[in-house]
A and B are shown apart, each in its own frame.
Chain A
Amino acid sequence: DSGVTQTPKHLITATGQRVTLRCSPRSGDLSVYWYQQSLDQGLQFLIQYYNGEERAKGNILERFSAQQFPDLHSELNLSSLELGDSALYFCASSVAMGGPGTQYFGPGTRLTVL
């Protein structure tokens, strides 16, 4: 158990819909990262927040957005869903904003878009 929690574990929805994925980082960790794992793209970095502020952006679609709240939990919002958005979405957390610190991964949310 990494100490990072993600809800829900599974999500099945239809094209065009909007969903919210939630992540609670390990106690004391200020950084939250979101990654997408799909068969064709592999593991890709989406976005990072540190202590409530966006710090880095990767290959995140404009239909996707995220935020980190004062209690440090984070939410990833996916809208106008397409079939290709079906993937495993991981959240990871670390103590610092960057550097050599370990990122601890949650168990993931498996999104299926029908």
Chain B
Amino acid sequence: AQSVTQLGSHVSVSEGALVLLRCNYSSSVPPYLFWYVQYPNQGLQLLLKYTTGATLVKGINGFEAEFKKSETSFHLTKPSAHMSDAAEYFCAVSLNAGGTSYGKLTFGQGTILTVHP
């Protein structure tokens, strides 16, 4: 079984400040890890994902995340926040079970990012 914990249901930053959204996972097998963003009244959009290989993953809109197996973490960062980054962010995990997985995503509870001018 797998689970995801997002630390902090609300994060508030100033425009231009560093964004750090925390995600820790639990998985019995190597995981695939994802960050999705949800703007108000919209569906989820993939920001980035970790599958295998390089542990620092770059995504859209200047976001990146680092997979740290020893810490079971996959924190999302962006060097400089923009007003348009205000949204809800979800970390998710699916299982990489010997190359086969039915792909269901297990989501964290979400973190609402507020960006102040």
> Which A residues lie at the B interface, using CB under 8 A?
2, 4, 31, 33, 35, 42-45, 48, 55-56, 58, 90, 92, 94, 96-108
Contact = CB atoms under 8 A, between A and B. Distances in A.
Contacts, number: 68
B38 to A, nearest CB: 9
B84 interface: no
A104 B96 CA distance: 19
Contacts of A101: 103
Contacts of B105: 33, 35, 43, 45, 92, 103
A31 B102 CA distance: 9
Nearest to A96: B103
Given A98-B101, A99-B101, A102-B49, A43 B107 contact: yes
A55 to B, nearest CB: 5
B94 A98 contact: yes
Given A31-B103, A99-B101, A42 B110 contact: yes
B46 interface: yes
17 contacts: A33-B103, A42-B110, A43-B105, A44-B107, A45-B106, A48-B103, A58-B104, A92-B44, A98-B100, A99-B99, A99-B101, A99-B103, A102-B46, A102-B49, A103-B105, A104-B46, A105-B36
Contacts of A4: 43
Given A90-B43, A102-B46, A45 B96 contact: no
A98 B99 CA distance: 9
Contacts of B44: 90, 92, 105
A109 to B, nearest CB: 11
Name, among B42, B46, B99, B103, the residue most crowded by chain A CB atoms within 10 Å (CB to CB).
Answer: B103
Nearest to B99: A99
Given A42-B109, A98-B94, A103 B43 contact: no
Given A2-B45, A43-B110, A97 B102 contact: yes
B74 interface: no
State the 8 A-B residue pairs at the shortest beta-carbon distance, nearest first: A98-B103, A100-B51, A98-B101, A56-B102, A105-B43, A43-B107, A105-B44, A45-B104
